[in-house]
Structure 1
Amino acid sequence: MNNLWKNMKFRSKLILFFVLLITIPSIINIMINYKTSSEIIISNAKDGILEVVQKKNEISDLMLRQIEERTIALISDPDLYRLFDREQPQDDYELLKMDREASALLSKYFRKEQDLYIPQLVTSYYSFGLGNTGYTSSSPFISVPSGGFTGSYIHERIVESQGSLVWIPTYDMTRVFNQPELSGMDAKLRMIFSIGRVINSSPIIDGMSRTWPAHVERPVLLINFHEEYYRQNGEQADAAAGSYFYVVSKEGQIVTHPDSSQLGHSDKNGWYREFRQPSGTSIVKDGQEDVLMGYAVSEVTGWVTVYAVPYQQLLRNLPLVRYTDLLTALALILLSIGISYVISDRLTKPIKRMMAAIQLTGAGDFSTKIPDQSQLEFRILIKKYNQMNEKIVELLQENYESTRREKEAEMLALNLQLNPHFLYNTLNIINWMAIERDERAISRMIVSLSTMLQYTVNNGQEKVSLGDDLLWLQSYTHIMENRYAGVFEVKYELEELPLDTVVPKLFLQPIVENAIIHSMAAVTKEGMITISGRMCGQRLCFSVADNGKGMSREQLEALLAQDYDGIGIRNIRKRLALMYGTEASLQLESEEERGTVVTVTIPLSAGLET
């Protein structure tokens, strides 16, 4: 891609620039317009969905509240009190008579929508309320068996409420009431939700409040609803495709749902539990699909009514906006191509003339001059081009002189390389002469000097191995011990060290030299210089200690402030800072007439590269 751009003509680049200048803002505009339109649509949809679900919830609450009020009115009915103010009937005739009276009584309060809900008065010995033909012939409900009911968790919850109204989310009545022979029925008949309360009748009869004696069993008012009750209350004719309503209890159990297989099960999403508001909207994940959910909490049941609309369904008309924007952008791009073609043609003509002149310069004709152009920019460019040609001629001459001087320097370097070689050979001859005369001390000094010269002259590296640098230092101290024979002694205390690690070249020599020249200047005998080395974790720690004259506090402060005339110390300090930064350190401690200790700490480095 980079080569393609480099090889592209200026005119092509100019056209491409104009196209991009139109295309990029157009794309950004399309994206912003699409995003803004989406946000507006979603915002309006949220408001509409919230209004719908709140309205539906209000309608359901109104109807359920009416039913709740009827249950309260039933409790105060004297006929209900008289009907159950007796011992448990002992024959079927009396039970049937009670059932007819109970059915008539229930019809008095619950006469509408018998295909959606049905009330019963249930005791441990009989289930009253389906004796009226209005309930048995036209109602699709199944009678609740008294035995199955009293042993169910629903009966337990209602009894625990002590007369308060209890709302039971959708359940399979054939399973809960132990009716396996009816389990094959349609789910619409089996799946119901209920409300119930224990009837503690307390009517006013003859001006007195009456209550049943303790031995009279309190019946349970149980009203069963088909889950379609919610779906037939306020279904939206203009609902979006794929949208649906459902109701879920505060515990997460589905009360009503278009998919009958979901009834009675826990809602797998549970998204509404995150909200504390009585109503609102949210975009949630339903499987692999984003869904806009509107919800409202019932003031009567505490259940949540949900209206779910597929997110993409809300944006189904947005592609039309995108196509319109794309067509507009395409028209602008075509227009920009035409304009850029005309402009680029006018701009590239002077450039073509310059290219012809540059080709002549490339062929070696540096005397080429381009006449001025009318445009200011090209006048400046041409002026610089002509100046460049003049400068090239000057540089060619300078390059010739530089090449000549470089060759002379190479010859001089070759001659200088002969001198160290001659010196090593001469030292080697002197060494053998000393050995032949049994002058071992002189021989050792010559070998040390030869080692030092080879290490210093041949090794041009700034970093060397620790082993090589210590070997050179030992040669140096040997020579200095012999030079100041009897004045001082050099002692090495080196622990096991990684000799292949990398260190700055000659990093200890200036310190040792300082100790010899300055500290030992006033010593005539029994001087001692101790060179120590050890591992300090992942660092190398070296110290050079002497028992010389030491330094006063003022001298030590001047040295630490780099005002001291010890060039070697300053050199080492700067080299350590350049190579290791703050990871290396050089510290001095001194006391007059007691000596000086210099400590160098450097990080452990890998071996030399080969």
Structure 2
Amino acid sequence: MTEQAQKNVYEIVKKNNEIMDNKLRIIDQNSAALFVDKDLFGVFNRLNPGNKADLLSADRQVSDALRRYFSQVDDVYAYQLWTSYFTFGQPLPQGDPTRSAIYRAAEKAAGKMVWYPTYDFTEMFDQSYLEKGAIDFRYLFTATRLLDFSYLNNTTLEKLNPGIERPVLTISFKADTLTSLYEKSIPEGSRYLVLAPDNRIVAGSEKGKIAQVYSDDWVDQVQRTGSGTRRIKIDGVNTIVCFDRSQVTGWMSIVMTPESALAGNLIPLIRGSTTLLAVMLGIVALIFAYFISGKITNPIKKLLGAMRSVGEGDFQTQVVVSTNDEFGILLQRFNRMNDRIRLLVSENYEIKLKEQEAEIQALNMQMNPHFLYNTLNVMNWTAIENGQKELSKMLVCLSNMLHYTSRKDWGAVHLSEEMEWMKNYFYIMSVRFEEKFAVSYEIDARLYDYKLPRLLFQPFVENAILHGFDQTEAGGLIRIRGWIEEGTRYFEVADNGKGMSGDTVHAILYRESSSIGIKNTIARIRMTYGEAYGVVISSAIGDGTKVTITLPA
């Protein structure tokens, strides 16, 4: 049993090293890719360290670049680029990181990856005021390397200018990353250590000794061997020691299992085996009884189960008929009846779907003539009042709008198409009303990946322009916002016009009125996405109007 346990624990240690090596190897590969990152090359090649605005702009670009490489990697706590004049990336209370041992190790390695073992953050960066604080980044280990950017421009290798300071990349991990990996996998009663080549503890079962040097003599033998198992006495206890060296970091993973812990598990195993045998014999007896009674009760149970499923709406249920007796005939008749019911339900469902599609299409078709009438009316006023001065550009915008609205397929469109159409519409209306209003957009970039009903915003912006600003000579503002929150897309059309009373809002939403476009839009949303989604209008006299549209994400 001890020999088998020794083999099993050794395999666990090797497997844990493989898991961690795979994660850390991704960090190594991604950091190597930074050497030829054209964006980072451009940032540092033209950066003026004495210009604060340049530094802040560079920080944003560098943070975005690092995020592309490392934000998706599990267990990464922080990623930064250190220079003597600025720390790019996630801020930590590090003072001047270039004075740390990590920075010196990276400079000494001259571009090679250095895996710096677990250290006390407050000591490494001389932050004594944090020593008594409960900080979750107290113990970290770090991957670091000096970056000398370059990239291949056609056939020419472009390098950083000689006078430019080369930044140091640091990728930091919490020591708990290794702790969670080992504590879930090693046998009960075992201890573990992860040691750097200088015997400094990277992670271990005894939290108080992390970042200290482990000084037992047997550790030096293990370090020289590299991988394998030993049976030795530790503190007078016979112990199985299994160890393996990481191929990425060079750190030694060690699991120490007392032999007494293995023997202590043997008695419960015998007791459990005896109990299991008794339970199995009881189960065998129950199985014999079950088969004897099943010949009588199984056909009835099958029929009752099938009837319950049909009652809950599952008309695909079919009962397997294995006999030709009275029960077999009854089950055959039940299957035949269920097939007839399923056919009728399917036909009825298809009819309802076709009716709903026809209703949606009818509502969609109402939008075209209503909008075309208003657009042509605007163009007529423009021609009269402006002497055809802006007619050429308006015709171009109208052509794009007509092309958009005259498609045969009235299905959902991407947000970018809808916004392009809106910009054409706003141009025509701004010319018609002589720049009496302005438009602002605040759209979450993620919304451009989704589709939405066509002409979703048109009735509301038209209402804002024609009615909200009818007493406004200048200073009107329409704000179009969009965001995603808890699985729902939100769009908001707000204006600073004269507003509406509560009765007017109620009339638009629930009574017969002239707001055909708004009613059709609400109906299209609910028919497409369900009754949980739609439009909310909030307004007050003199306080503008805000329309909120909700769609599922």
TM-score (norm 1): 0.42
Larger of the two Rg values belongs to structure: 1
TM-score (norm 2): 0.46
Q: Which has the higher contact order (CA 8 A, sep 6+)?
A: 1
